[in-house]
Amino acid sequence: MRATVLHSPGDIRLDTIEDPVLEADTDAIVRTVAACVCGSDLWPYRGLNKPQTEPSQIGHELVGIVESVGSDVSNLAVGDFVIAPFMYSDNTCVHCRNGVQTSCVNGGGYAGCQAELVRIPQAAGTLVTVPGDVDDAMLPHLLALSDVFPTGHHAAVSAGVTHGSTVTVVGDGAVGLSAVLAAKRLGASTVIAMSRHADRQEIATRFGADHIVSSRGKDGAAEVREILGGIGADAVLECVGTAESMKQAFLSLRPGGTVGYVGVPHGVELNVPAMFGRNQALAGGVAPVRNYLDELLPEVLDGSLQPGAVFDRTFALDQVADAYRAMDERTAIKALLRP
């Protein structure tokens, strides 16, 4: 099969490798219908994670069709269209039952999903079947459920967004835009999107943002407070993962508020004494996508929730290097891949 392989920072190739096979009775093999590039894929692409010692597959988001299943997988059939959350889980262990499938005792990550075929461990607990026929128009919205929208949703849930909340979103990438949509879906009365890019501002507004703030640092926080009657937001959704974005989040938060963070942290340090003095909380982490799919999928299927608008460019799988370049250079918000 063809699969995306990161050979070294900046060197993405579509290689031919061995097809995956069932290795355990709990596995399934899925033929990819659509995959995508995640903002978190850019960290290793830019060489900002731990040093890479050998080429490795990359990617963790896909929807596809079941090709084969292990003998212990009774809830899936060959031909089913499925959503694959970006980490696998048995969905039965104590952590899964507590809604933290990303900490499943039998869970983990995939070898790489930007490929024609993917082996899914713990398939019965991981994969979510989409009923009926799936047309191309629905693909972006279903693919968004594999990671990006539930991640924005997790930021909002972690920060305690509810009916009437005031919310500021730090980050205008696909996750930040998803967080805007998630906050509005949960009933936020005012959502402020911090963005400097016209195309991203347009999607944020379409997703329900009431205000756009383009300033940063103390000036940006002052604009947030001015919009919100002199205080910060009840909830700030941090969707980047840098020291600057986390600082911005706390600057924009009212005393007693909560930062919901889902940006993969790189170089982040917390001012805990200041948090203590202002009764400010931090909650979030890796989004347990599987925990949210039973709630979110019906709304995508009935058309009331359309998170796939974050996909603004589509590439063939053999153009995957161009897709990474577009994401890295910010000429794409989120790149969808079709084998």
Residue 42 one-letter amino acid: L
Q: What is the pTM of this model?
A: 0.96
What pLDDT does 51 receive? Answer: 79
| pLDDT tens figures, 34-67 | 999 999 999 999 998 777 789 999 999 999 999 9
8 Å CB contact between 156 and 261: no
Report the DSSP pairing between strands 62-69 and 335-338: unpaired
Could you give the angle at the alpha carbon of 314 between the alpha carbons of 83 and 88, nearest 5°? 25
Q: Which token pair is 320?
A: 């995957």
How far apart CA 339 and CA 318 sit, in angstroms, is 8
Do the domains spanning 2-147+288-338 and 149-284 agree at the CATH topology level? no
How far apart CA 191 and CA 250 sit, in angstroms, is 16
Q: Which token pair is 63?
A: 């929807």
Q: What is the DSSP letter of 82?
A: E
Please, which pLDDT band fits residue 271 given cuts at 50, 70 and 90?
very high
What pLDDT does 255 receive? Answer: 98
The closest of 311, 324, 335, 310 to 180, measured between CA atoms, is: 310
Please, which pLDDT band fits residue 100 given cuts at 50, 70 and 90?
very high
* Statement: 149-284 belongs to CATH 3.40.50.720: yes
Q: Output phi, psi for 220, to 5 deg.
A: -65, -45
What pLDDT does 308 receive? Answer: 98
Q: Which token pair is 30?
A: 């899925």
| Structural domain spans, the chain | 2-147+288-338, 149-284
What pLDDT does 52 receive? Answer: 79
DSSP string spanning 119-160?
EETTHHHH-EEEPS---GGGHHHHHHTTTHHHHHHHHHHHTT
- How far are the Cα atoms of 77, 97, 126, 187, 267 from residue 191, in angstroms, in the given order? 42, 31, 32, 10, 27
Q: Which token pair is 95?
A: 């952590």
| pLDDT tens figures, 176-229 | 999 999 999 999 999 999 999 999 999 999 999 999 999 999 999 999 999 999
Average pLDDT over residues 274-294: 98
- Express the helix, strand and coil content of the chain in percent, nearest 5 each: 35, 25, 40
Class of domain 2-147+288-338: alpha beta
Please, which pLDDT band fits residue 319 given cuts at 50, 70 and 90?
very high
What pLDDT does 27 receive? Answer: 98
Q: Is the dihedral of CA 153, 238, 224, 206 positive or negative?
A: negative
Average pLDDT over residues 165-175: 98
What pLDDT does 48 receive? Answer: 82
Please, which pLDDT band fits residue 310 given cuts at 50, 70 and 90?
very high
Average pLDDT of the residues of the chain: 97
